[in-house]
Amino acid sequence: MENKQPLSSPAGERENIMGTMDINPLLIKLSVPMMVSMLVQALYNVVDSIFVSHVSESALTAVSLAFSLQNVMIAVGVGTGVGVNALLSKSLGEKNQERANQTAENGIFLSLCSYAVFLVIGLTCMRPYFYAQTSDMDIARQGIQYLRLCCVLSLGLFTQTMGEKLLAATGRTHLSMISQLVGAVVNIVLDPIFIFGYCGEALSGTTGAAAATVIGQFCGAGMTLYFNLNKNPDIQISFRGFRPSAKAIGRIYTVGLPSIAMQCVGSVMTFFMNQILMAFSATAVAVFGVYFKLQSFVFMPIFGMNNGMVPIISYNYGARKPERVKKTIRLAVFYAECIMLVGFCIFQFLPDKLLGLFAAGDAMLAIGVPALRIICPHFLLAGAGIVLSSVFQALGNGVFSLTVSICRQLVVLIPAAWLLSRTGEVNMVWWAFIIAEVVSLALSLVFMARINRTVIVPLSEKQDAAV
């Protein structure tokens, strides 16, 4: 594969907009397309669940049980892309075109390796995975059909994810948005057609949901390939004489592995929370599942903004422009808190309407309404913490992000939820989210102070010395 861009070094010939454009419009320019695409991503995840729930409760349960492994697959793709994004942007900021190209090529190679791993998992591990969670043969059968197809045909997922990160790293988030929108729209359109059997029984139910998902991913992947090969002059991708670089792969995973681990931690947290809540009732577990679907509409825009923020910070870090780095961080925190405030108001004042989207009965409303109201204040604390976590990654300190994530979701949240569950009141369990967020935000601020002292301030000193 080789792109059609000129073989000159764009990074050496001109200053990227990430080093010259005013930060506020730049952050908006790069973030809004990513925020829109992430919102669409959240939308079609919810739409998937709504359509499947109309097939049967067992189908919805099967898809829910698939979430943990599916989330690991997404974590590997996105985490690897995060490492490529940060290092590619930094290389462009340093005007190191050769390293930028090498990072992109090795990133694509790693996405193919990731696919090979999950291809094997899809062919060999589906039955033990589902029967370890349920003894219901119907649920297991539907889950195996769904997840096996998602794993075996995950090439589209890994290709699309890497392609989007390459576009975002060079400031072309509008092209990344287009590719994700294409994939999401295809998935949403095909979902009811396949799930409800309009293309035959073989492609109905959970199998149809999986088919719609992977077709959408391949469509999105095709768009990212086209854009990177024809519309992205900041990198030149060529695999003539390509050899994997252990050094480049090491740099990618130094940043990417903490991101992968952070998302995998979420799968572990979900598993244990389900065990704690199952002691109360299956309805409590359902409420937690619905909350997870709904909260993505609040968190996804911030994740999208972070995708626009990371290349700005990495670029200006590489270009030794500390004031632009600090201003980007301040603005991102401000916008994140504004988004979280909106989410807080919706969850606090309209919980019954949100639960109604999932045809909640009286039992679910009785548990769900107070649950959403108790949990949502932690949004106001989480906004700054989510931004700072991405700042750590952008500056090459992904271990800090991993530490905060583990602390929030495993060290604090799960033990707090278990202890509160001993009261015998399910509503007490939800307070664990606020407790965990207070601790993680405090830890994030401590790490940020250290980053400022050891990474950002020295940039200013080097800048002054150069003058």
Model confidence pLDDT, tens digit, residues 244-297? 888 888 888 887 887 787 778 888 888 788 778 878 876 787 788 778 878 888
Model confidence pLDDT, tens digit, residues 33-65? 778 877 877 776 677 777 887 777 677 777 777
pLDDT at 117 over 90: yes
| CA angle (341, 33, 194) in 5-degree steps | 95
pLDDT at 359 over 70: no
Residue 12: predicted pLDDT: 44
Q: Which residues are within 8 A (CB) of 349 and not within 5 positions of it... i.e. 6 or more apart? A: none
Model confidence pLDDT, tens digit, residues 424-455? 999 999 999 999 999 999 999 999 999 888 88
Per-residue pLDDT band for 9 (boundaries 50, 70, 90) equals: very low
Per-residue pLDDT band for 7 (boundaries 50, 70, 90) equals: very low
Q: Which residue, among 98, 83, 33, has the nearest Cα to 314 in the 3D structure? A: 83
Residue 330: predicted pLDDT: 92
Greater model confidence, 232 or 121: 121
What percent of the chain has a predicted confidence (pLDDT) above 70? 93
d(CA 424, CA 280): 8
Which tokens in the block code for residue 104? 């992109």
Residue 10: predicted pLDDT: 47
Which tokens in the block code for residue 389? 């976590």
d(CA 342, CA 32): 17
pLDDT at 127 over 80: yes
Model confidence pLDDT, tens digit, residues 146-182? 999 999 999 999 999 898 888 887 777 788 888 888 8
Residue whose pair of structure tokens reads 């590619």 in the numeric block: 88
Residue 464: predicted pLDDT: 53
Model confidence pLDDT, tens digit, residues 182-233? 888 898 899 889 988 788 777 888 888 889 989 999 999 999 999 988 887 7
What percent of the chain has a predicted confidence (pLDDT) above 90? 30
Per-residue pLDDT band for 14 (boundaries 50, 70, 90) equals: very low
Residue 8: predicted pLDDT: 46
d(CA 373, CA 278): 21
Per-residue pLDDT band for 341 (boundaries 50, 70, 90) equals: very high
Model confidence pLDDT, tens digit, residues 346-357? 999 999 998 887
pLDDT at 467 over 60: no
pLDDT at 380 over 90: yes
What's the whole-model pTM score? 0.72
